[in-house]
Amino acid sequence: MLKVGIVGGTGYTGVELLRLLAQHPDVELTAITSRTEAGMPVAKMFPNLRGHVDLAFSEPSIDVLGACDVVFFATPHGVAMKQTPELIARGVRVIDLGADFRIADPAVFEKWYGLPHSCTDILAESVYGLPEVNREAIKKARVIANPGCYPTAVQLGFLPLLKAGLVDASHLVADAKSGVSGAGRKAEVHTLFSEAAESFRAYGVSGHRHLPEISQGLARMSPEKIGLTFVPHLLPMIRGIHATLYATLKADAGDLQKLYEETFAGEPFVDVMPAGSLPETRSVKGANTCRIAVYRPQGADTVVVLSVIDNLVKGAAGQAVQNMNIMFGLPETAGLTQIALLP
């Protein structure tokens, strides 16, 4: 059994990790930390875990976390980079669900996140945890940068086109929408029910923190320079991301449906839907699945890709568990076979 610790277990990502790991056949939950809620039973805060998680939140302790096989960080940026060096020195493997190890260039990280990177040597060896792209490197990694939610949906959607060199990589458009849980569990005016319900708006149009992460990932898929316009939106729902992606074909592309099906053949968590399908966010709610559909409207030179995920599962906690499974040689689907909730 893998001994697992979670740093920062009180947010939406933290409780999703707990939900998945509590059902994992090869996991023993060892520690769940929270400085503000230390001593509180986890099931008191999250009653859905009653009878499944008997631990209480505890103060972060390097001795306790250092006895784990793997530690997940479900924390704001800046936390994981401070604690990771001592953990990996003790032989612990780290999966960070925050942003600390996602951006390879420390200067770019500092520009977008407003603080210098404190362990650039570890940043240099960390592996970006998008399994459909980096599975082999993930197997050997000591530190995994778990991708963000928007970046997961966008990169998986564009992947077949860029790998095949079929589109103009300098003019990509990602029009993406997310439910309010993507903003986290903190209290903010814009996510209040009266502010978000029955409304729909864009945000971060001039620049969003996920933009450099997405651009970096797409650049690794294509030898061409990436030009990306990324516009996120807030939807009045709790879970889900819907990314509508646009690209311009450089030449005749052949059968795009076949291209997508062949690219993701054998991938347990990417579902290329039949031609003419319209994937819905509710079809992935609670599941570690990305559903994709590809279109070429009117047979013109514009490709439209529809990509949907649950932002808390394939966009966060589920993908983190998928990475853990790969790192430790477990079946990749272990603990992740939940069927999406519908309705």
Cα–Cα distance between 207 and 179 in angstroms, integer? 19
Q: How far apart are the first and last CA of the chain?
A: 35
Percentages helix, strand, coil for the chain (3-state, rounded to 5) are 35, 20, 45
Name the packing angle between helices 149-164 and 256-263 (round to 10°): 120
The residue annotated as part of the active site, out of 68, 119, 149, 290, is: 149
8 Å CB contact between 50 and 36: no
Neighbour-count burial of 255, counting CB atoms closer than 10 A to its CB (0-12 exposed, 13-18 middle, 19+ buried)? exposed
Does 68 qualify as catalytic in the annotation? no
Q: What are phi and psi of 32, to 5 degrees?
A: -135, 110
Exposed/middle/buried for residue 130 (C-beta within 10 Å: 0-12, 13-18, 19+):
buried
Residues annotated as catalytic (active site), given as ranges: 149
